[in-house]
Copies of this chain bind each other. A is one copy, B any other.
Amino acid sequence: MVTFKDRRTIRKYKKDDISEAQLESLLFQASRAATMGNMQLYSVIVTRSEEMKEKLSPLHFGQPMVKGAPVVLTFCADFNRFTEWCQLRDANAGYDNFLSFLNAASDTLLYVQAFCTLAEEAGLGTCYLGTTLYNPQGIIDLLKLPKLTFPVATITVGVPDECPEQPDRLPHLAYIHEETYHDYTANQLDIIYYYKEQLEENRKFVEVNKKENLAQVFTDCRYTKKDNEAMSAGLIEALKKQGFL
């Protein structure tokens, strides 16, 4: 069994399929994760068809994992199913609001991580696509997501066809705080980010992008203020259309 501390994201997969039985079993086992009031506020859309992968691919900015994996899973916050059940029982559901979205999104993300851990223990590889939040409306339209559902995470799954280097992680002192949050001194930040900044691959990114340092690669190339603000607006628009705002 792969231990969690040895895990890595897998972006290249063998042609092998994942059986429906194995996928269902993993998705069911993962449902043992904590869930608010035992409501299980999530749904999973399973993409196996080439046609749907073709259409999903540009919504994830052409990342090759979408077309390269046998299975793509779009995990959605889902208050629709619960609300429909309430309506059927003459109960006055009040889950068309922002708290309910965050509750359902939380349920979903715990479920996603539980699924990934179980899939990796079973020898599969997974890749988390953060792009789901960049263009939710396109995904909503393609997957026909009704009101009170929202796509929050996409995972590609398959049999690993690579074993990449493990990326660095920050020292645990970077993110553990005793009793209250302790803000960082310049010296502490230097120490926390030292290892990341001196890595050969990161030095190359700085050079290739003609920046002064790694932080500027993040702010000027990878995750810019302009993009974040434009995508925030789209996200809020989509949340309104889905009935959560």
A interface list, Cβ under 8 A from B: 4-7, 9, 24, 27-34, 36-40, 42-49, 52, 76, 78, 80-82, 84-86, 88-95, 97-100, 102-103, 105-106, 109-110, 112-114, 116-118, 126-128, 130, 133-134, 142-146, 149, 152-153, 166-170, 172, 174-181, 183-184, 186, 189-190, 192-193, 196, 212-216, 218-220, 222-226, 228-229, 231-232, 235-236
Contact = CB atoms under 8 A, between A and B. Distances in A.
How many protomers of this protein does the assembly include?
2
Contacts of A224: 94
A2 B63 CA distance: 36
Given A24-B172, A97-B232, A146 B183 contact: yes
A86 B179 contact: no
Contacts of A86: 215, 218-219
A236 to B, nearest CB: 6
A172 B31 CA distance: 8
